[in-house]
Structure 1
Amino acid sequence: MLKYSELKAGVSLCGVIKFTEDNCQLKNPTFFIFGENDDIIPLDQVTALEQKLKQQCKTAFEVKIYPGQTHGFVHRKKEDVNPQDKPYIEEARKDMLNWLNRYI
């Protein structure tokens, strides 16, 4: 979402964009999905990302942290889903589709 202006919108699933200190300019509306218990991307990195976006980004964005979830929770295979995680997975997938439908 930093390079391709021809895209209308995007979703970042449990990933972190490596912004430079002075460049946090998304070219397109972007929805960021993170798990609260991600062992790869700590919440302090998510908080730092959100703060940089609030300060520098001029396009729409949203950062959402799903309670109790781990890295990659949104795209788990059906057989790997714990019953207690299912509502959060469904919510994240619905949020993602709503975001894309809003901008595409």
Structure 2
Amino acid sequence: SADKARRVIDQIRGRSYEETLTILELMPYRACYPLLKLVYSAAANASYNMGSNETNLVISKAEVNDGIFVKKFKPRARGRSYPIKRPTCHITIVV
């Protein structure tokens, strides 16, 4: 969810690339793995497209916005169904 991703994003905003990787690898939250993949991808894009060195990169902008709710139905007693709303989020990282 967006709230769970925001508590991780707030820790890495404004930090260097190497420090961000260390923080994300050591934090115990489940949202860290997708964020780690995003930071790797952003750094690879910056080094390939702009020709910049990865040691000089800084996370200048990192934000999390709410996405759609994935709606599923869980079967319940007496033939009823119960809706389950799974929240998603959109993550933006700029180096």
Does the alignment reach a TM-score above 0.5?
Answer: no
Larger CA Rg, structure 1 vs 2: 2
Structure with bigger RCO (C-alpha 8 Å, 6+ apart): 2
Q: Counting strand residues as a fraction of each chain, which structure ranks higher?
A: 2
TM-score, length basis structure 1: 0.28
Q: Counting helix residues as a fraction of each chain, which structure ranks higher?
A: 2
TM-score, length basis structure 2: 0.30
